[in-house]
Amino acid sequence: MFKLSNPSPVLNAMLMASLDIFSQTSVEDLKEKQILLTGYLEFMIKSYFPRKSRHAINRLSGGKRHMPSVEIITPSDPEQRGAQLSLIFSVPLTPVQEELQKRGVVCDIRMPSVMRVAPVPIYNSFTDVHKFVKILYEIFQSFVTEEKEFDSLTNEDYMTEMHGDDSLNSSANSSTCPSPSLSDTEPDFVSATNKHYINQ
């Protein structure tokens, strides 16, 4: 509450700076970019991580250690979701969050098992999405190569509770680490798309 009738000049200045950002774009453009950003994140996760794997990182199958699996529980229809994907890993959530934070990546978590990744169209770029997936991929690879063991149980029980036993029976993507390798250099179309939105 202000004793005078006029609002705070400091707060007004901050509000003007925020409104200036919106004057440089439109809700339609932000919606378009949001759909593309979240879609690109979904594509990258599905391309580079196994899904619904019965093999947890601290178990062996045929003598091979497996890349942790990632399941997207957010609807795949862009009209039924916002600018975020909710993920469940086959390894405990806390170690993943800690490793991401060490690398400067902050994601929202919902205990016991869900991480919410939210590329925001007003300030995140397609490069940011590419970097996030690359960092997560490197973290999971380190879990494999270092033969990391977890004191707590994996998230398989939680996944089974949500989807039933069938959610763990798919073997299409449950083998060893995916064959594609994530390059330090983003794809050309990512750079081109970034420039498109920057120049608008």
Question: How confident is the prediction along the chain (200 residues), in pLDDT tens digits per residue?
Answer: 556 677 888 888 888 888 888 888 888 999 999 999 999 999 999 998 887 644 444 444 444 567 888 999 999 999 999 999 999 998 888 899 999 999 999 998 888 889 999 999 988 999 999 999 999 999 998 888 876 666 444 455 444 544 455 443 433 333 333 444 555 555 555 555 555 555 44
Cα–Cα distance between 54 and 90 in angstroms, integer? 8
Contacts of 21 (CB under 8 A, 6+ apart): 122
CB 158 within 8 A of CB 65: no
Nearest alpha-carbon partner for 185 in 127, 120, 144, 106? 127
Starting at the edge strand that comes first in sequence, how are the strands of the sheet with 108-110 ordered?
A: 70-72, 85-89, 114-117, 108-110
pLDDT at 19: 85
C-alpha gyration radius of the chain: 20
Contact indicator for 70, 113 with CB cutoff of 8 Å: no
Could you list the beta-strand ranges (E) of 73-192: 85-89, 108-110, 114-117
What local confidence, expressed as pLDDT, does residue 113 receive?
Answer: 87
Whether residue 112 has a cis bond before it, omega within 30° of 0:
yes
Residue type, 84: Q
pLDDT value of residue 56: 44
What's the confidence (pLDDT) of residue 180?
46
As assigned by CATH, the class of the 25-166 domain is alpha beta
Q: How far is CA 31 from CA 27, 38, 86, 153, 196, in A?
A: 6, 11, 19, 39, 15
Q: To the nearest 10°, the Cα dihedral for 171, 172, 173, 174?
A: 20
Q: pLDDT value at position 164?
A: 54
Q: What is the pLDDT of residue 123?
A: 87
Give pTM, 2 decimals: 0.68
At a CB cut-off of 8 Å and minimum separation 6, what does 58 contact? Answer: 91, 148, 149, 150, 154
